[in-house]
Amino acid sequence: MKAYRRSTAIEPFRKFCRALDLLILLNALRRRERLPGFSGLRRMTFLEMGPGPMRLAAFKRKLFRQVYFLDMADFGVPDPHLVLVNLESCGSVQAILECLPPEARSGPVLLFADHCLEHLSTKVVRGLFESIAEHGVAACFRVPNVHSPTGQRNYQADPTHRTPFDEEFRRDAERTGFAVFPWIRWYRPGIYGRTLRGSQPVMSLAEEIVLSHRPARDAGA
């Protein structure tokens, strides 16, 4: 695997924006009662599916008790807490935990994925959502919003996209305890014109959505 390189002058700023965006997302989940406060995160294990090379590993380890990444390659960015797996085989909470060392299987868990699940088959994603609801773990997934023109174009532009998270899928997810809400990455300049133009609802303008599941009552306690 060729080492990943993104040698641009703005890369440090890009990483800062992505880190701040994650903090804003975690705070939004806290306000929606999907996660505990930041002190509670220190008692949680953070499991991220498919982060690619842009893991922000050191930053995430400051927020959570343990951090593990599951991906299909290291992209030239090795990490002792990266677990190489076929993500298509991780169709349940139990299957994910079985990939991890024993110390990662205890305590409350936050399962996270940022534009990963749309690359998996609908069958696998549905099975994963049902397993999350059954086990009562906290989960947060950001995926393309196929109900906005920009999100639909982005989804269709990548031939590896397989699960569309359309209206039927969203309804099914909500029935199993997931909340669905729009997400706008504030550091992307192109979004401001779309957001401020006209009176369309944010859901029809946002490029991506968040699907979040409430943890069991004792998570983060």
CB 75 within 8 A of CB 1: yes
Report the 3 state secondary structure along the chain.
Answer: CCCCCCCCCCHHHHHHHHHHHHHHHHHHHHHCCCCCCHHHHCCCEEEEECCCCCCCHHHHHHHCCEEEEEECCCCCCCCCCEEECCHHHCCCHHHHHHCCCHHHHCCCEEEEEECCHHHCCHHHHHHHHHHHHHHCCEEEEEEECCCCHHHHHHHHHCCCCCCCCCHHHHHHHHHCCEEEEEECCCCCCHHHHHHHCCCCCHHHCCCEEEEEECCCCCCCC
Burial class of residue 221 (count of CB atoms within 10 Å of its CB; 0-12, 13-18, 19+): exposed
- What is residue 220's predicted lDDT score, i.e. its pLDDT? 42
CB 48 within 8 A of CB 38: no
pLDDT at 189: 61
The residues, ordered by sequence, that sit 6+ positions from 94 with a Cβ below 8 Å of its Cβ are 131, 135
Q: Which CATH superfamily is domain 11-213 in?
A: Vaccinia Virus protein VP39 (3.40.50.150)
With a threshold of 0.75, does the pTM exceed it? Answer: yes
User: What is the model's pLDDT at position 22?
Assistant: 96
Report the alpha-carbon distance of residue 151 to residue 185 in Å, rounded: 13
The two three-digit tokens of residue 220, written as one number: 């983060």
The pLDDT assigned to 163 comes to: 97
* pLDDT score recorded for residue 104: 81
The ranges of the chain with pLDDT < 70 are 1-7, 188-200, 217-221
- Parse the chain into domains and list their residue ranges: 11-213
pLDDT of residue 219: 44
> Residue 38 has what pLDDT?
93
